[in-house]
Amino acid sequence: MTTLNLIGAGNLGHHLARAIDKADDIRLSYWYNRDKKSISEPNHAIMVTDQLADLEAADITIVTVSDDAVGALSSQIPYENTLVVHTSGSVGIHDLDSKHKRGVFYPLQTFSKEVIMDFQDVPLCLEALEKSDLNQLKQLAEALGSKHYRINTEQRQILHLAAVFVNNFSNQLYRIGHEITDVKNINFDILKPLILETAKKVQDVSPYMAQTGPAKRDDQKTIRRHLKLLDNPLHKDIYELLTQSIQQTHGRKKL
């Protein structure tokens, strides 16, 4: 039985606590948050605290606080020489206090308060300074049912950047779709199956092969008509730039 301490009770903290609770061979000992009231639905076997001094060492301590707080918080953990991991895409492994065995346990996924996440759908990016620590993180990932990948700090920062493109920016394109259909009293629901299918397609086909549309076909007539239909100058710029990017990728001439 691997024992875990959990630091932080944001979205990720709650999703992790729920997944740990359901998993075999791992058990949550302490769950710390500076505001205890933010910790909702704790299992009664877990010690909930708002005092770091209360914590007793566990096999692995998982720090889920905001990027800027990781370093200082890791120093305040009142034990040493056990494995302490952070869960951030952009913080380096050496930002953790060197009194600990250090590691990273970065889940590449978006978590909502409302939706219970199956950790089968949460790829875990693992990093550690020692091989035995990496093996311990692999076992933890497997206990949660997650796929895991060995990813170093440089690679992790690139993944975090790629996640901004495929998550934040795709979502903004959905938002633009919402804005331009709203103006003409069109129900955004009409676009939802297409959004889902677009994401499903690249689960099996590379996005290079999956591409279609006027930019790829270099259909200048449609491109010009679309640009004319856009009122927001920023939407126009985004249309032009992504069209140019598709044409660069597919070896078409530039706009």
Which residues in 79-98 contact a second copy (CB under 8 A)?
90
Of 23 and 230, the one with the shorter C-beta distance to a second copy is 230
| Number of residues forming the site for a second copy (CB under 8 A) | 92
Of 43 and 147, the one with the shorter C-beta distance to a second copy is 147
Q: Is 22 in the site for a second copy (CB under 8 A)?
A: no
Q: Is 245 in the site for a second copy (CB under 8 A)?
A: yes
Of 132 and 212, the one with the shorter C-beta distance to a second copy is 212
Instruction: Fill in the DSSP letter of residue 191.
Output: G
Q: Are 85 and 60 in contact (CB under 8 A)?
A: yes
Kindly write out the interface string for residues 96-115 of this chain, putting x where it contacts a second copy by CB under 8 A and - elsewhere. Answer: ------------xxx-x-xx
Of 54 and 194, the one with the shorter C-beta distance to a second copy is 194
Binding to a second copy (CB under 8 A): which residues in 172-231? 172-181, 183-208, 210-216, 222, 225-226, 229-230
Of 202, 143, 115, 97, give the one whose Cα is nearest residue 2: 143
Q: Is 170 in the site for a second copy (CB under 8 A)?
A: yes
Question: Distance between CA 111 and CA 236 in Å, rounded?
Answer: 31
Question: Distance between CA 18 and CA 114 in Å, rounded?
Answer: 13
Of 72 and 162, the one with the shorter C-beta distance to a second copy is 162
- Of 12-20, 32-40, 56-64, 239-247, which part binds a second copy (CB under 8 A)? 239-247
Concatenated DSSP letters of 135-160: HHHHHHHHHHT--EEE--HHHHHHHH
Rg (CA), the chain: 22
One-letter amino acid for residue 211 of the chain: Q
Q: Are 62 and 105 in contact (CB under 8 A)?
A: yes
